[in-house]
């Protein structure tokens, strides 16, 4: 299940379209308080190898921390990606792909910040925020 595909996607209004390369099947959910505020719920995203945008002038990149930015459509507000600044590490929101068939929820991070009002039934890897920062410090960002 490690085949990496080229997939297209777009925002709700269609002003921003993209082609993502190296898209794996494994999808991750982040329950951190920043993602909750950004998406209105958990952020469910897939780490891709590269992104090519069409309609980039409709794309706003918000610098949410020293190391990351979050991209969204300036017209319809669709949340499109989280990106580590200065890298091609794009975590694209799973719901904006045209064809998400084959995706499966493999991991959940910042599980300690998840609100009590929901739980995913999926059997996944789970990491607390502290475990995520430990993995990043070792140069191993969890996917």
Q: Whole-number minimum distance, CB 102 to Zn ion, in Å?
A: 24
Quick one: 14 or 102, whose CB is closer to Zn ion? 14
Mark residues 11-30: x for contact with Zn ion by CB under 5 A, - for none. Answer: x-x-x--------------x
Residue 43 structure tokens = 């952020």
Q: Which of 6, 76, 85, 141 forms a contact with Zn ion (CB under 5 A)?
A: 76
CB-CB neighbours of 130 under 10 Å: 10
Q: What part of residues 89-108 is at the interface with Zn ion (CB under 5 A)? A: none
Quick one: 21 or 36, whose CB is closer to Zn ion? 36
33-37: long-range pairs with CB below 8 Å, 24+:
33/113, 34/64, 34/65, 35/82, 35/110, 36/113, 36/115
Q: Whole-number minimum distance, CB 118 to Zn ion, in Å?
A: 15
Binding of Zn ion at residue 75 (CB under 5 A)? yes
Distance of alpha carbon 11 from alpha carbon 73, whole angstroms:
7
Residues facing 73 on adjacent strands:
59
Residues near Zn ion, by CB under 5 A = 11, 13, 15, 30, 32, 35, 73, 75-76
């Amino acid at each position: 299940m490690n085949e990496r595909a080229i997939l297209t996607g777009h925002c709700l209004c269609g002003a921003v379209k993209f082609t993502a390369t190296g898209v794996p099947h494994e999808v991750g959910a982040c329950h951190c308080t920043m993602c909750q505020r950004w998406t209105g719920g958990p952020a469910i995203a897939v780490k891709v190898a590269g992104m090519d945008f069409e309609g980039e002038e409709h794309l706003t990149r918000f610098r949410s921390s020293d190391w990351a930015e979050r991209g969204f459509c300036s017209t319809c507000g669709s949340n499109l990606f989280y990106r580590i600044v200065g890298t091609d590490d794009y975590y694209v929101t799973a719901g904006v792909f045209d064809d998400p068939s084959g995706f499966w929820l493999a991991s959940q991070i910042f599980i300690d910040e998840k609100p009590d009002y929901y739980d995913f039934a999926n059997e996944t890897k789970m990491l607390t925020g502290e475990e995520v920062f430990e993995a990043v410090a070792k140069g191993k960002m969890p996917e």
